[in-house]
Amino acid sequence: MVSFRFPFSFSQPPRAATSFSGFSVSAVAVSVTVGAAAAAGAAIAASRNPRHSILEWAFSSHRSSLLLPWGSITLADSTSESVVEPKTGFSFPASIGDSRRLLGVGLRKKSLLGLKNIDVYAFGVYADCDDVKKLVGEKYANLPASEIRGNKSFLDDLMQADIKMTIRLQIVYGKLSIRSVRSAFQESVGNRLKKFGGLDNDQLLLSFTSLFKDEYKIPRNSTIDLTKEPGHVLSVAIEGDHVGSVKSQLLCRSILDLYIGEDPFDKNAREDFLDNVASLAVDN
């Protein structure tokens, strides 16, 4: 059974994100050291719809190259602390809920014909540490972290398992509209649904995209939380207000794949996430 009122989904371009080191499970006090790096953009094909060419591409499955400053983030012990995404200066709490810890941060960025870069949104990837340790410890406890994080079965298990996870988006581009998001994510989520579930998922996709209602406003600094709840229920909140949920393992996996799958929005954010998840398993 599918229940709905949910707004969001994603796809990918690579970039050099912040790197996490020294994560501990009870962690949370944050020290950030940011080094310098160059920014670069790659040319992309223009959208078929000139009115939304920038915004729709940014949320679609097309890609561009981009770089961010490298940094070093250590999570220690204090739930009141936050981690800053260094390019935008947007901060993310080091933990949310009872046991979801921040395991990676990244930036969704759009490069238009190599001439202008647009920061669309920053994001943080959270996972329930207890759930991760239980799942991965059972199957990969005898493997070192270096082997776990590069194991494709490990990533597949992680995305399909009943683990509580949250992707928090913080809007950077102030002119972003729900209409543009709705149109662009119809493509990216639809492609993932076909990838994992075949062609017969039009109703699921329609139910998902219809939740991007024009009444929702997403100005700069607003947040969208995409949380995979127990039972593979995807719960969505805008600015902290719950707007709906969808019970679908296929949809949950398709959305997670856009951030931590093999072809993610931000490859370095994915690498940080995998490093920290693997460390949790080894520390089990």
Q: What is the pLDDT of residues 249-273, one digit of tens each?
A: 999 999 999 999 999 989 989 999 9
Among residues 108, 72, 103, the alpha carbon closest in space to that of 88 is found at 108
Count other C-beta atoms under 10 Å from residue 46's C-beta. 12
Q: Can you give the C-alpha Rg of the chain in angstroms?
A: 18
Does the structure show a pLDDT above 90 at 40? no
Higher pLDDT, 139 or 193: 193
Which pLDDT score is estimated for 9? Answer: 37
Amino acid at 92: F
pTM of the full predicted structure? 0.73
Main-chain dihedrals φ then ψ at residue 71, nearest 5 degrees: -145, 175
Confidence tier at 281 by pLDDT (50, 70, 90): low
Type of residue at 64 = S
Share of the chain above pLDDT 90, in %: 34
